[in-house]
Structure formats: C-alpha cells, structure tokens
Copies of this chain bind each other. A is one copy, B any other.
Amino acid sequence: MAKAVVPGVQERLRSIVGIKGWEYVVYWKISDDQRFAEWVGCCCVGTSSQGLHHALESDVFSSAPYFEGSTVRCPDLYVSHAVTKTCLMLSEMPTSVPLDQTGSFGQVLLSGQPLWTHYPVSTDPGLGQDKLQTKVYIPTQNGIIELGISSHVVENAALIQYVKSRCGDTWQEFNVRDVTRTSLQSFHIPLRNDKGLLDTNDLLGGSNVSPLDLSSESALSLGYGRDNMQGYQSSLDQQPFKMFYPSHGAAGGTGELVERNLQLNTASEGNQVQWCSSTDSHPWGVPDGPLSEQFSSQVAHTHLSLFGQEKRVPLTGHHSVQEQYEGSGDSSRLEKNLSAFVQNFHEISVPVVPAQTFHAASESPRGSGLSKENSDRDIKHETRAESSDCSEQIDDEDEKGVPRSGRRHLSKNLVAERKRRKKLNDRLYSLRALVPKITKMDRASILGDAIEYVKELQQQVKDLQDELLETKEDDMQANVATIPEENMNPLLLDEEIGVHVGDDGRGSSKLDPLSTPSLDMGERQIEELRQPMQVEVSKMDAHLFTLRIFCEKRPGVFVKLLQALDMLGLDVLHANITTFRGLVLNVFNAEIRDKELMQAEQVKETLLEMTSQSDCRIANLGNGHVVGPQLISFDS
C-alpha cells in the first residue's frame, strides 16, 4: 500500500524539518481509486523536541506498520534518530486516509489550495490548550504534503510555494493525470474560488523559518495547483473570471484592461496576496521593490506559462521563476488540460496586443526544454484550431473575410464540446467512484469494471431476494400467514420520514410515524399554521425526492399539486394520497426529470410558491393527531 519511501521527496523535504523548524513532513499520494490518500513517506525532525515520555506506550504501536519489530521506530528510516513524540505520532498515522469532503485532504485536493490549520494539541497534557499545533496541507500534483509542528506558526505562502516547487513531480510512478480533480469533484464540494486569502504578513515563514534560506531557495511561484483549480473551476462553471495584471513597470507596460484577469495584488503594507474573481482592477496599488517585483514577474510568468496564449504580459526575464514553476510539477499535462479553458478564455477576450508581442513572447527562449515544448504545443494547437490565437483570428477575419458568425458558431461548438466532454468525464469518474473494485484507471476499464459490478450487484440482489423469500416462506409455514415486510418500499429511505408508503397500514402503530413529522410540531405549529400548506421535502439522493404535503382538501388541489410538481420538473414515481375530514395528506416520490440538481429546500419553496397562488389554504394541525390510523386503514 504505502510505497517505499521515495528518496527524492525525502531529500527535498528534509530541509524543511529541522532546519526550518517543522517537526515532520508526510507526503501522501492519491490512491489509485482516487479515494484515499496513501502514506508515501515522511521526514521526521529526528530530534527530541518535546521529550519522549510517551514513547513506551509501545504496545499500541508494536504492530504498527512502520515498526519492524517490537521496538518503536520512527517511520522515517532515513535518518537514524532517537524516538520522539513526533516519531510516535508519525507511526500513529494511518497508512491511508479516506478522501471525503469533510476531511482536510479532500478540501485541500478539491480546492487546490493549501490548508493551514491551527488546533490545540489535546493529546498532550504537557502542552497547554492554548498552545497550538500547526498543520499544513499542501496539494501537489500527485498528492498532499503535510507539515506539522507543535508550535503555532502563521501562514506562510513562501513555504507553501517552496514545498510545491519541491514536491510536484516526485511521484511519477503514479499517473495522476487530470482525473484527480475531476474525480474529486464528484465529492460535490463547492470549490473555493475566491477565498484563497493567504496571509503573507509573515511572508517568509514562521518563527522557525529563515527568510534568507527560503528566499534563496525558492523564487515565489504561484502554485499551479491553485491555478489549476481556478482554471478548472472557471471552465466548470462556464463563467469567466476576471484576471487583472498590475500594470506597474516591472510587469510591463500593457496596462490595458484584459477582459479576464487574474487579480494578484501585492501590497506592501499588508503583503497580502489575494486571488479572487474581483472585477475591479487592483485597488491596492502596486508597490515597487524586489518582493513585489518578484511577485508580479512571477505572476506574469506564471500566467504566461499557464495561460501561454495570453500573450499580454511580456516576459520579464525571470527565467529562474519559470524554471521553478516548471520544476514544481508535471505541469505539461495540466497545462494541456488547462488549454480548454485557456482557449476558451482566449476566444472571448478581445485581442489588444499585436501579434508580434505574442510571437516575441512565446518564441523567446525559455529556461527549459519542457516549457518550450509546452509552449510549442500550445502554439501548434492554436494554429491547428485556428480559433484561439488572437493574431490568427485577426488574420482570419482580415484576410479571408470569414464571416464572423461561422467562427462564432464554431467556437460555440468548441465550447459546447468541451462542456460535453467534461460532463462525460465527470460522469465517468462518478461512476468510477461508485465501483469499489477498480482494476485500471483507463476509461475502458472503468466501464468494464462498472459493468462487472452492476452484474454482481444484480446477482447479489437476486440472491438476497431469493433468500429472503425462502426465509419468509419458512416464516409463513411456521406461523400461518405473515408477510411481515414485503410491502415495505425500500426505495424510500424511510428512516428519515418513517413512512412506509407501500404499507397499507393495518397496524395502526405503523401509521404514527407517518403522521408524526408533520404533526408533532409543538411550538412551531403556530407559525406553520400560517403556511398555506405543509410541505416537507426530503432529498433521497441526487434525483429522488420525497415530498409530503399536507393541506386542506379543496377541489382541484390534486390537479394543482401535480401540475406544480410537473412544472417543477419532478416526475412522480409514487404517490399516496389520503384524505380525511377535509384534509389531505399527499406523499410523493418524485424524481427530477432533467437530472438537474435541485435542493430540497428549493423544491419546497417553489412548491409553496406555486400552490399559494391557488386557493389551497392552511391545514389546521391544531390537534396533533389529525390523521387517525383508522382513516388510512385500507383493509376491511
């Protein structure tokens, strides 16, 4: 599971612990099924910083995976050192962490943004509760770098960038490609788009980090993880986002407004690096000085590299920055995958820079061959596509006089096709996420595994049903006639509502839960009386809703209800309507017709709104138990 320690990472990150004061570094990679972060390796500080008074609770750890014998050893085997509390903590770490949306890992991977957390170390009584432990999760290309320290360290963008620049491409044995983000996207976590506010007050790190050390080692490069997510999010939403380049001197003189800009502002007074979708141009002003220059040039360069077709920000010659960026990951794939967005971006944006600028910029010597190759490919793409390069576009329209509508149409097609592809991919990865046994990661295998899994499930269901039937037949033979739960409708996730829709409700007790959720309101009764009808919507899964509507029975109320459901795009799968004394209880199971996501609250509100226009008035619930069981007893 956990691979052998990768020396490259180990060596690269070794300097973080100890020298920079961090106590440990753990690097996780995304598992093959994209569901776990797997422990790859770690660096331990190797010195006893807090003592080891817990070291001999080794019973717990004697069989831990990283302990070869019964003696407690640090998982970081590369440096032989005394066992510290850190070692113990490292050895306590799971080899695999599920990537759910609630966890830090999932958040980090989804957002593409580092997570800098402080939390009290409650496990160690020696440390006060006010003493915070800092943990940092930094997404990299193939996984996550986790840093930990038992002291409070403020956020440190430079450190993050350093780590990123160091740990991007070290896990080549695992091909993450672009599926990571898409599959993670299936966790349905909203991407954090403009919350990536990095506190750069202490830009060069916490107290333990030497500014010199860091600045010498790493030019600040914007991690493309974030860029990637940003681009991804934008292309996901199909919403343009604005990017603005500070038009100060160092970044070049192209101060014109570019339609979509990445706002990255370096303010010396706050040193805040803000990445957002703001629409106004840099409100903080751009100071001069090495730091900001570094920033802006890096932004320019990063942008040039990431959005190579942007061509509006001239190179400032910081090749080292470029190298740094390039070294920070297997960026080619990402760039390639970003090209959809980039081209989309480029098409809509108005060309304002003559073609020479572009050519000069793109053909200017880069620092590395990789970058050149990438840019070359990008250029080739452009030339072939004939749709994303502004100069080409100008040429086209000027020379050939191609009607713009045609281009428009083509570009629309292009965008739509990207969208379609993305949707397909998302679905594919969602499917993959559902299938537990995954042999390979390629599309055909995903489908094949899904097929096998479905067959397996079907067989399983069949077997279970048979078994159940046998059991019940046995029951039936035992005591004369019982069909205990056969009519229970498993499609309904009843526990939330407590209704067995298929149940005829002979047993009066079974009906109590049916009426409880709408009837046991207590204090809320009064304000709910104001509502024209009681609507309760439960979302069973992505597409299945259960609605319970309790109202007065009026002529046409059913028609109106069903019309409302229909207009809501809800397909009624099952309905149970019961009337009693002028009141009516409707229980619907409905499915979203067009597979659009809709929230329960949304449905409820819309339904209320729609039905409130009619004359269906309030159902009085004054006396709790309105629907007596005898009313719904449907048998004779």
**Pair B504/A573 contact, Cβ less than 8 Å:** yes
Q: Decide if A606 is an interface residue (CB 8 Å cutoff).
A: no
**Is A461 within 8 A of B459, CB to CB?**
no
Tell which of A62-70, A462-470, A614-622 binds the partner: A462-470
Question: Which one of B452, B457, B479 contacts A461 once the chains associate, using CB atoms below 8 Å?
Answer: B457
Q: Which of A158-166, A248-256, A290-298, A440-448 is the interface stretch?
A: A440-448
Given A448-B427, A471-B472, are A465 and B577 neighbors across the interface (CB < 8 Å)? no
A410 CB–B CB distance under 8 Å: no
Residues on the B chain within 8 Å of A467, using CB = 468, 485, 488, 490
Check B574 against A575 for contact (C-beta < 8 Å). Answer: no
With A577-B574, A577-B575 in contact, is A485–B471 under 8 Å at CB?
Answer: yes
A516 at the interface (CB under 8 A from B): yes
- Interface residues of A toward B: which range? 35 or more
- The answer to whether the Cβ of A578 comes within 8 Å of any Cβ in the partner chain is yes
Cross-interface CB contact of A468 among B471, B505, B543, cutoff 8 Å: B471
Specify which of B453, B465, B491 is in contact with A454 (CB 8 Å cutoff). B453
Report if A562 contacts B (CB, 8 A): yes
Q: Is the interface of A mostly helix, strand, loop or mixed?
A: helix
- Would you call A15 an interface residue if the criterion is a C-beta within 8 Å of the partner chain's C-beta atoms? no
Q: Which residue of B lies closest to A555 (CB)?
A: B566
- Is the CB–CB distance between B572 and A575 below 8 Å? no
A491, B636: Cα distance in complex, Å? 12
Task: Decide: A572 near B579, CB < 8 A? Known: A427-B444, A507-B483, A631-B636.
Answer: yes
Contacts of A542 in B (CB 8 A): 452
19 additional A-B residue pairs with CB within 8 Å, beyond A468-B468, A575-B578: A420-B444, A423-B444, A427-B451, A450-B454, A452-B542, A458-B515, A462-B516, A465-B508, A465-B509, A471-B471, A471-B485, A472-B509, A483-B506, A486-B507, A487-B506, A489-B504, A489-B506, A492-B504, A572-B579
- Name the 8 nearest CB pairs between A and B, nearest first: A502-B502, A633-B636, A427-B447, A482-B482, A486-B506, A575-B577, A469-B509, A491-B504
